[in-house]
Amino acid sequence: MSTVLTAEKMHIQDAPRRLRFWRPDAAAKTFTLPAWALIVLTLIAPITIVIVMSFTDYQLGNTEVRWVGLENYSTLVLGDDFLRALKNTVLYAVLTVTASVFVGLMLALLVNQVKIGSRVYRALFFLPVASTLVAMAIVWKYLLHDAIGPINLFLRWLGFAGIPFFSSPEWSMFSLAIIGVWQLAGFNMVLFLAGLTAIPSEIQDAATLDGADSFWRRLFTVTLPLLSPTMLFVVTTSSITAFKLFDAVAVLTKGGPQGATDVLLYATYREGFENLNTAGAAAMTVVFLVIIVAASWIQARISEKRVYYK
């Protein structure tokens, strides 16, 4: 009997020594290896290759590659095409983000007041987000057509001159912004509805007792201040989406007329796949990534400061 107890005691004492090489944290790290491998292969490696390529003179199909340093970036800065594309992208982002945030907020406030059928309104306003933009861009091209578009036909029936939505440099960017607002407003509405739902009704009741008896006074004194974190998130996501404009330009305008709708992603596509300047397109991609990362970093820093002060 004593011999059996002694053997079991030695077995228990040696267990930690045997399990020393298979700790829980080691097991967790082992199980995350497939995920890390996927992240490296699909995210880190392509981004690294693009960054390295932007400092070379590589062109698609060439076997010889030469290191050129910042030459591609200096060409972008000194060239008119890139600066024009950047200016157009910023203009589109300002127009789209401002209007889509405002429209999304107004829709959220209205839908939040509806007691019957609110889910139907949410689904209807969210439909543009779920639809394919390429297919809907063709529909918008017909709706805003100069000659046969229903909107211009209606304007002429009223006695007004038709609007050259996509054939005029002055109107083309605003036309694309209309499509962008149509697509983003429903998504922003859902985000604002989530923020409105998180506001306790007791705060609204307390504001009413304190003298904010009208809807507009409660909106500016209670609702909007409490919605500021959601507002920041909506502005950030809308800005990133606006800077990623490509589908509508590729289908509707091809960067025209006269380069009025030439944006960053379409200019990158044209540089890389039409002009076959792969290194220049890589440099434009790096600039685009810097803009996106900067916007995300600013949003994260502002959110951290809000949490810190609270």
The answer as to whether 5 is a domain residue is no
DSSP 67: B
Residue 215: what pLDDT? 76
The answer as to whether 12 is a domain residue is no
> How far is it, in rounded angstroms, from Cα 35 to Cα 154?
55
The answer as to whether 60 is a domain residue is no
Can you give the pLDDT of all 310 residues of the chain as single tens digits?
Answer: 444 445 444 444 554 554 454 566 777 778 888 888 899 998 899 999 999 999 988 887 777 888 988 888 988 888 888 889 999 999 999 999 999 999 999 999 998 888 787 788 888 888 888 888 888 888 898 898 888 889 999 989 988 888 888 888 889 999 999 999 999 999 999 999 988 888 887 877 787 777 777 777 878 888 888 888 888 889 988 998 999 999 889 888 888 888 889 999 999 999 888 888 888 899 999 999 998 888 888 877 876 665 444 5
> How far is it, in rounded angstroms, from Cα 191 to Cα 148?
37
The answer as to whether 155 is a domain residue is yes
Backbone angles phi, psi at 190, to 5 degrees: -65, -40
- Domain residues for the domain of 86 are 80-305
- 130's enclosing H/E stretch is helix 118-130
Of residues 205, 179, 192, 167, the one with CA closest to residue 96: 179
CB count in 10 Å sphere of residue 249: 23
pTM score of the predicted model: 0.83
Q: How many domains does the chain have?
A: 1
The answer as to whether 68 is a domain residue is no
**CATH at residue 271:** 1.10.3720.10
Please name the residues in contact with 107: beta carbons below 8 A apart, sequence gap of 6 or more: 125, 185, 186, 189, 192
> How far is it, in rounded angstroms, from Cα 238 to Cα 300?
15
The answer as to whether 54 is a domain residue is no
> How far is it, in rounded angstroms, from Cα 71 to Cα 54?
9
The answer as to whether 37 is a domain residue is no
